[in-house]
Chain A
Amino acid sequence: MQPFAKLLDQLACTQSRNRKIALLADYFTATPDPDRGWALAALSDGLPYSLPLRRILPELMAGTVDPELYRLSRDYVGDTAETVSLLWRDRRKGAASATGDNRSPPSISDVVMTFGTAPRDCVPRLLAETLDRLDISGRFALLKLLAGAPRVGVSARLAKTALAIAFEHEVGEIEEVWHAVDPPYRELFGWLTGKSAKPDPGSRPVFRPLMLAHPIEDEDWARLDPGELNAEWKWDGIRVQIAAIGGHMRLFSRTGDDISKSFPEIASAFTRRHCVVDGELLVVRNGDVAPFNDLQQRLNRKTVSARMLRDYPAHVRLYDLLFDAGEDLRGLPFEERRKRLAAWHENAAPPLTDLSATVRFSSFEELSAIWQGTRADGIEGLMLKRKSSPYLAGRPKGHWWKWKRAPLTLDCVLMYAQRGSGKRSSFYSDYTFGVWRDDGPATLSLEANYGSETDAHAAPGELVPVGKAYSGFTDEELRKLDRFVRTNTLQRFGPVRAVAPTLVLEVAFDAVQFSTRHKSGVAMRFPRIARIRWDKPAVEADTLTTIKALIRAPATL
């Protein structure tokens, strides 16, 4: 338990992703089986069970700590497991109040086995005995482990990436076998360390790493021939993979997370099939693709109400066929797979699915004209795929491209700036910007006051925030923005500064949607700073009416 406890301590204090990966990789290489497997489970999909510590711990503590002191401590610390780890009387040999427990600390596997097989009524006593054998960090790790979610800033994806780096494999390979193995992952580590064969999924539906596209760059066109490419619409949903075999199916997100539970209607559409397909998960009503916002209502839900199913009906638009029954099609050219997909779909006809349409074109001029129209049609852009490309894991160069519709831009006024984190912690690098409200009587706000003082013209009214961006500028521009924030601060709220509304930021974004998060009632998708308009007077920035006019109706293609 001690190495795992140390790992959790270090992860909690590390912000850099690379450093987290290095810590995890070191741990996975240095720790024997099955401890590392249980740790991996805790950091990814969880242990096979979790204990109701929220109920057990206060009862356990009642016997050792005065309830009022426990309450005051818990309120201060803010986390039950941490409070208990700090308050537990240290009984280890050599500890200040030792009463002589000199058994060595238990390993993770001891703990997982002991608590996994213990009768429920023995758990409090066992827990007390185990806590007695650990120090503060160890007690914290134990309680986090048993509660089921350590929450130490590590995603399952990050843990898998660390495994890949530790054992010099591709992360895609690990994702591919992930759903074929179970904690404590002996077969996985056996394969990674070269001691045994690659785990065989047998009759389980497993994830196959997705093939991803590159954004198309100007210089790519010269190397491309229209006749070699297949074009499709780019849909604004989430990329998914459906794997079905032997009466089981799984709906995977792009990173291999199993999201089947949130979409039972898709699950039943695929349950008795035998295939692996690639597609876009969307909310579709009467043939119309609903805005991304609607799909968001369905994500991350453990239970789905009948009302949800009715109001936000899910649909999968199919892009590709990776396996037809047991046959692996990934080595075939895209054109071939596309034909097989059409044939399979015709034959299997799973409900709530359709094929992603092919966009016909004969020249890049023609394609460009089609692309120009995507915004008006409410489509996110185009996908270009080489007809000869096999299905390759990851983001291989020279096969697939995404050609996103041109971003919208608006001139906004910088309102607030917040300190960044990690390398940027000494910079004000997160910017909240707004537009002028022109849809009602102008209220005289603090900002408007300052605006009228610093500008020659009177301010048009009140500024309302519409978005937040922390990218799109160079390091040099960041330094200039930071200097601007520090010299134009009106008010400070902890890490946030309100600045005089005098600086215009040209913000590029993909779309605007209704939102309750901002006072303005709208929010931008994917905003970034396109240009800093040091030259432009703030009064000439855009208005709320302009931005609301950009909210689009659903796509009907």
Chain B
Amino acid sequence: MASLVRAAFSVSKNSLISTSVRSISTTKQLNIKEIREKVEGGNIVVEAVNVPSPRTELLVRAENLGPLKTIDVSEAVKSDKAPCYMCSLGLDVKHTDVLILSQFVRSDGCMLPRRITGLCKRQQKKIGKMVSMAQKAGLMINLTPANCKKDPTKRKDYKKFNTYFDETTIFMKNVPRWTDRFKFRQSAK
């Protein structure tokens, strides 16, 4: 009942309030923008400046690298869709590869959503977990919120000591404890 009411409300609201005028343009309307703030005589001026993407020139794509030798068969062939750019590159990314992982985060260290990264679901999960591994290990300490102290040795309790992670545990349902040697050997294969 509640969903029916909500649906009826949204339909009526859209029909009444929404403007039928849509801007149509043949050229590109939206560009990558950078928000800039500056103070002009007591007023703060916030403007969005169109900038070219800083990454386009350095971009690496599998189709530009010649024949697809490096493709990771196990992850790509499962679905009949074309593999995403990360799958087709077939890189073995570890959580210590901060130069790669830092491309998928905002300046506060937050993982970008899938509609922006354009990864497949599995890669998004994998990269997201490795980003949090790198953050927990303190390897991307400059990409953290502004109130962070920017020094991993000044964290509290167990967080101040060095931690490394095992990437094979990313898609495990439950990570075995170090005492469960038999179970671990089974799941590792």
The reply to whether chain A is a binding partner of chain B is no
Please give the residue numbers on chain B whose beta carbons come within 8 Å of chain A beta carbons, in ascending order: none
